[in-house]
Amino acid sequence: MKKITTVILLTLLTFLLSGCWSKRELNELAIAVALGVDKTDDNYEVSVQIVDPGQISSKQPASGRAPVITYTAQGKTVFEAIRKITNSSPRKPYFSHLQVVVIGEKLASEGIEPTIDFLARDHEIRNDFNIIVANKTTAKEVLNVLTPIEKIPAQKISSSIQNSEKAWGSTLTVNIDDLITTLRSNENSPVLTAIEVIGDPKLGIDQTNVERIKTPVILEFSGLAVFKQDKFVGVLTDDESKSYNFLNDNVESTIEVISCPKEGRLSTEITKSKTKIKGKIVNGIPKLTVHIEIDQNVGEVDCTINLAEKETIQMINEKTSNLIKEKTEQVLNTIQKNYQVDNLGFSEVLHRADPKEWKKIKEDWATIFPELEVNVKVNVRTLGVGTIHNSISQQSKE
């Protein structure tokens, strides 16, 4: 008898296990994959890209409805605007699957800290999404573009920024934890990847955008956005962004094009890149040295050189290293003289190298940084030349 009672009691207990106080059934959730925040006059305008699960599922055929819907609302703060979305959305947005947060250019110029506070404080929003800035457009426009191949545009943005970071090196994935650490320090400023809408935005909201072989409207990354503290001040060009990533040890693989001694160009594929920044403070004056170690292969030869000679490889090494050194010094110049913001973490390097001395010069960092002496040393090794020796054009001439 006791056994049966125990079993019955245990079975009854399992009914409590699933719990139903704070339950939200799947069909009550509006899964938000992207969040866009803009500023219009004094109000925040929030755009949420919500997935239509029926259109994404592989089992049911697509019925011509868009795979994602954008809902917009305005409010005095981001939080208020998000709640107001329930006025138009059939369900309350659920943010735990957020892939990307887009911050409009105007809002970014005024400061992103209030938005970031909301993203950090809310318990539903996790820390594994990317944050980007809309360049020359609003976040709303960015979220209103349907993308081919990836049904969910937020997914496209997210994978695109990661792939580009790995294969080309002019973008940067920034998550909220990194952003908060940078924003909280007085000497550092963050950078975010900037995204642009290429083409007429009005055409992007339609399925016709993805029904053609040449998509009229595409989302493209256009370099890194430079911030002063939390205010957006400018964009680095694609090339400059790549050099920035060299300085920040963020390059995994990219291409460099050098010019051959006589005429023509040669492309090298960088397979490995490691940057070490060392700093020291001598007599109250900080000095930094940047060491970049690069491994590369020859990727494409468009000139007449003999790749079989040792000297050629050495020449390629030298030329690439000079080129990268030049480009990094250039971007350093831009950042130091034009923007005058430390977004390379130099302050942290010095802080770690010599905490006592750093404390003394910390206050004057804003004036020290533009004049900071930075030595760039690049060491390039060419390890391979691809699957053929000399280029075809070379062979044919011999």
Give residues in contact with other proteins (CB under 8 A): 21-22, 96, 120, 123, 126-128, 177, 180-181, 184-185, 348, 351-353, 355
Q: From the CB of 123, what's the least distance to other proteins, in Å?
A: 6
Q: From the CB of 358, what's the least distance to other proteins, in Å?
A: 8
C-alpha–C-alpha distance, residues 161 and 78, integer Å: 25
End-to-end CA distance of the chain: 99
Question: Which residues, at least 6 apart from 222, have a Cβ–Cβ distance to it below 8 Å?
Answer: 135, 194, 195, 196, 235, 238
Instruction: Specify the pairing of strand 254-259 against strand 264-282.
Output: antiparallel
Q: Which is nearer to other proteins, 117 or 206 (CB)?
A: 117
Distance of CA 116 to the CA centre of its chain: 16
Q: Which is nearer to other proteins, 180 or 218 (CB)?
A: 180
Distance of CA 12 to the CA centre of its chain: 50
Q: Which is nearer to other proteins, 274 or 352 (CB)?
A: 352
Q: Which is nearer to other proteins, 84 or 126 (CB)?
A: 126
How many CA atoms lie less than 13 Å away from 327 in the CB half-sphere?
22
Position 18, amino acid: S
Q: From the CB of 78, what's the least distance to other proteins, in Å?
A: 18
Q: Which is nearer to other proteins, 10 or 392 (CB)?
A: 10
C-alpha–C-alpha distance, residues 303 and 259, integer Å: 9
C-alpha–C-alpha distance, residues 244 and 246, integer Å: 5
Q: Which is nearer to other proteins, 106 or 126 (CB)?
A: 126
Q: From the CB of 134, what's the least distance to other proteins, in Å?
A: 26
82: which 2 tokens? Answer: 């998000």
Angle, alpha carbons 218-165-113 (nearest 5°): 80
DSSP class of residue 30?
E
Q: From the CB of 26, what's the least distance to other proteins, in Å?
A: 15
Q: From the CB of 237, what's the least distance to other proteins, in Å?
A: 29
Q: Which is nearer to other proteins, 4 or 13 (CB)?
A: 13
Distance of CA 43 to the CA centre of its chain: 27
Q: From the CB of 356, what's the least distance to other proteins, in Å?
A: 9
